[in-house]
Amino acid sequence: MSAAPIEFWFEFASNYSYLSVMRIEDCAARRGVQVRWKPFLLGPIFRSFGWQTSPFVLQKAKGDYVWQDMVRQCRKYDLAWTRPSGFPRSSLLPSRVALVGAEQDWIGAYCRRVMSINFGEDREIDTNKVVTEVLTALGLPARQIIDEAQSEANKLRLRQQTETAARRGIFGAPMFFVGDDMFWGNDRLDDALDHCVQAPA
């Protein structure tokens, strides 16, 4: 009897997604849980609520808190942290590439590297140059993967994935699904994984 898989919905611009991207493969492997990577864009979802940007920008008090919290959370998980000078960062190309690689064995390493560039090194992530750098460092054919990521079919897939997120009630990131059970935020990653083991596929 095997554990249920976990669906991991994340957005490269989201600082709490950063924590989960860095942690999920190790945490899941320890419990024998398979991770299904689901990159999506939060922007269209926030706009559907009438928000033009992240609530961490729109609500100043909450934003001020979040940057305090991230310092402590990154210390707790032993992760690099630099408050991004641009937030939320555009994440379109890296998200399209993540969709291409979602079922490839390089997806975890790719996502961790993109997140580290955004939240560890405070660099932009939505450029051909950076994505090429990341893919090449992983020994992958960057040009070919980026071409596929920028194809009309893949652009449409990312829009559809984001629409699916909205339809499933996703209102923030990271979000985890175990079957129909939804768990919000890096703080629920361990609970969600425990649920995978208790509610096997």
- The yes or no reply on residue 61 touching its own copies (CB under 8 A) is yes
DSSP the chain: -PPPPEEEEE-TT-HHHHHHHHHHHHHHHHTTPPEEEEE--HHHHHHHTT-SS-HHHHSHHHHHHHHHHHHHHHHHHT------SSSSPP-HHHHHHHHHHTTSTTHHHHHHHHHIIIIIS----SSHHHHHHHHHHTT--HHHHHHHHTSHHHHHHHHHHHHHHHHTT--SSSEEEETTEEEESGGGHHHHHHHHHHS--
Given the rule CB under 8 A, which of 15-23, 55-63, 131-139, 156-164 is the region that contacts its own copies?
55-63
Given the rule CB under 8 A, which of 35-43, 63-71, 95-103, 122-130 is the region that contacts its own copies?
63-71
State the catalytic residue, choosing from 14, 17, 20, 95. Answer: 14
Which residues between 157 and 176 bind its own copies (CB under 8 A)? 169-172
Q: Tell me, by CB under 8 A, how many residues bind its own copies.
A: 22
Among 187, 198, 199, 201, the residue binding its own copies under the rule CB under 8 A is 187
Determine whether 14 is an active site residue.
yes
Assess contact for 176 and 188: CB atoms under 8 A: yes
- The yes or no reply on residue 52 touching its own copies (CB under 8 A) is no
Smallest distance, its own copies to C-beta of residue 51, A: 10
Among 65, 143, 159, 201, the residue binding its own copies under the rule CB under 8 A is 65
Smallest distance, its own copies to C-beta of residue 44, A: 14
Given the rule CB under 8 A, which of 12-20, 85-93, 140-148, 187-195 is the region that contacts its own copies?
187-195
Instruction: State the catalytic residues.
Output: 14
